[in-house]
Amino acid sequence: MPSTAVIGLQWGDEGKGKVIDSLAIDADLIVRFAGGNNAGHTVWVGTEKYVLHLIPGGILHAGKLNLIGRGVVVNLEALIEEIDGLKQRGVAVEERLRIDSRVHVIFPYHCQIDGLVETWRGEGRIGTTGRGIGPAYADKVSRTGIRLADILDRDTFEQRLHAALAEKNAVMSKVYGVEPEPYDDLFEKTRALAERLRPLVVDGGELARKAHQDGKRILFEGAQGAMLDLDAGTYPYVTSSWTGVAGIAGGAGFPPNRIDRSLAVTKAYCTRVGEGPFPSELKCAIGQRLRDQGNEYGATTGRPRRCGWFDALQARYACALNGLDGVFVTNLDVLSGFEEIQVCVAYRLADGSEVRDYPAELGKIDDIQPVFQTLPGWTEDITAATTLDDLPSACRDYVAFLEQQMRVPIVSLSVGPGRTQMFVCDSAQAPA
């Protein structure tokens, strides 16, 4: 595993946390390259549950270095809270964590604006996590953002924060009619938070490139999912970063042609949090049953996740877009007990025509009807399975069908949230 990318194949929450934690055993450096504390990556270690938001998923392993890459937007308070929470649980965070000096920082005004803009959007709201992600990335692009390195230099920060607050406070008071943010409190508080992090701050791009030159094994950890990608996803119902393999070059400062293997994680069905198109969604008792059996509630906001059947068009599109070499399928156990299982294999458009490949423009979601293919279900509990042969034949057939639809080998199956409930799939040897 010289350098491996792992991304989410759907709309996030595919089980990336569990997969990264498991792959980290064979890695030296684990790098987050996008998103912020909108992410919630769950890892179970025995009966202990960890939910990581900003810290990469190799942090629970001794001897591994974890890097928050420059493409991540960092809420300093949230990061320190996460570090302290892990330290209290005995994790040697300082030894294992580094932060790129170029990360853009999320300020309280970004969170406030996130909420205000959502209110203004009304019916068209995105259903963001409210963590200030969009406004922070917007500032980065419009060149009014403030990086961790800027804060660590007192004079630079003074000048940057004055300029930023002059604009933000004018917008806040004149457009949204809310109280402006006082400069002094914010300046001193942010400086103190940044100083606490100073010992961990590095040139992350250089660290990753050097590690690669030295023959170290690097794991790039995606956040969110392919369909939440700013360019490739269901715009405008997306997040504000590049969530796919393409995001690694910019977000980690790592040459794209040095990524040796690209993998993705998908659930055996689909979920989505927030608003936006979801063609295979089940707004019925079956959707509720998936939510109950899969305990589908957001790891960051606790919101109930929208649930639906596996969408083959969406998955195939995301596989092709990211040039994938293999896919991890999680939550297969959640499907046990369904008499029959469906897979969305086409979309019926408003004019009655059917498409079998994901269309670039979904148009109005109400106009699209999913066309399902029905497969037989299985009743057996599969949570103790350790090989493909342990699975009931209907379950194996279902996995084979997903693989055939995605046209990418399924390399591993996950049959429960626990660390050990995952096994390499024999079909990994099958040609793509």
Residue entry with tokens 């920082």 = 105
Q: How far does CA 177 lie from the centroid of its chain?
A: 34
Alpha-carbon distances of 6 from 65, 222, 409, rounded to whole Å: 17, 6, 15
Write down the least CB distance from residue 252 to ligand GDP, Å: 18
Cα-based angle 264, 94, 129 (whole degrees, multiple of 5): 50
Give yes or no for residue 52 binding ligand IMO (CB under 6 A).
Answer: no
Under rule CB under 6 A, residue 32 binds ligand IMO: no
274 binds, among ligand GDP, Mg ion, ligand IMO, none (CB under 5 to 8 A by kind): ligand IMO
Q: How far is 423 from 432, CA to CA, in rounded Å?
A: 19
Is 100 an annotated catalytic residue? no
Total of chain residues touching ligand IMO, rule CB under 6 A: 24
333 counts as binding ligand GDP under rule CB under 6 A: yes
Distance CA 322, CA 329 (A): 16
Asked if 15 touches ligand GDP (CB under 6 A), the answer is yes
Which residues, listed in sequence order, are joined to residue 264 by a DSSP beta bridge? 7, 327
Distance CA 168, CA 78 (A): 21
| Tokens encoding 40 | 């919630």
* Residue number, 9 or 99, with CB nearest to ligand GDP: 9
CB-side exposure of 10: number of CA atoms within 13 Å? 32
Which residues between 276 and 305 bind ligand GDP (CB under 6 A)? 294, 299
The one among 161, 334, 375, 406 contacting ligand GDP by CB under 6 A: 334
Residues 274-303 that bind ligand IMO (CB under 6 A): 274, 299
Q: How many residues does the chain have?
A: 432
Number of shown-chain residues binding ligand GDP (CB under 6 A) = 22
Q: Residue 39 interacts with ligand IMO (CB under 6 A)?
A: yes
* Residue 157 or 278 having the CB closest to ligand IMO: 278
Sign of the alpha-carbon torsion through 394, 397, 402, 403:
positive
Which of 244, 416 has the CB closer to ligand GDP? 416
**Are the C-beta atoms of 232 and 314 separated by less than 8 Å?**
no
Answer with the entry of ligand IMO, ligand GDP, Mg ion, none that 252 interacts with (C-beta below 5 to 8 A by kind). none
Among 3, 5, 10, 17, binds ligand GDP (CB under 6 A): 17
Question: If binding is defined by CB under 6 A, does position 97 make contact with ligand GDP?
Answer: no
Query: Which range touches ligand IMO (CB under 6 A), out of 34-42, 71-79, 180-188, 315-323?
Result: 34-42
- C-alpha to C-alpha distance for 138 and 21, rounded to whole angstroms: 31
Q: Interface residues with Mg ion (CB under 5 A)?
A: 13, 40, 299
95 in helix, strand or coil? helix
Please list, in sequence order, all residues whose beta carbon lies within 8 angstroms of the beta carbon of residue 285, skipping any fewer than 6 positions away. Answer: none
Find residue 67's DSSP bridge partners: 31, 98
Catalytic residue among 13, 28, 100, 229: 13
Catalytic residue among 21, 28, 41, 311: 41
Interaction between residue 331 and ligand GDP (CB under 6 A): yes
Among 228, 318, 327, 422, binds ligand IMO (CB under 6 A): 228
Alpha-carbon gap, residue 295 to 103, rounded angstroms:
33
- Taking the complex as a whole, the smallest distance from the CB of residue 306 to ligand GDP amounts, in Å, to 14
The binding track of 386-415 with respect to ligand GDP, each residue x by CB under 6 A or -, is ----------------------------xx
For residue 230, what are the CA distances in angstroms to 34, 35, 135? 11, 11, 14
Alpha helix (H) residue ranges in 328-410: 393-406
Instruction: Tell which residue, 210, 166, 216, has the closest CA to residue 186.
Output: 166
13: annotated active-site residue: yes
* Partner whose binding site includes residue 133, from ligand GDP, ligand IMO, Mg ion, none (CB under 5 to 8 Å by kind): ligand IMO
CA 417 to chain centre: 17
Binding site for ligand GDP (CB under 6 A): 8, 12-18, 40-42, 44, 294, 299, 330-331, 333-334, 414-417
Give the residue numbers marked as catalytic. 13, 41
Residues that bind ligand IMO (CB under 6 A): 8, 11-13, 38-41, 126-129, 131, 133-134, 223-225, 228, 239-240, 273-274, 299
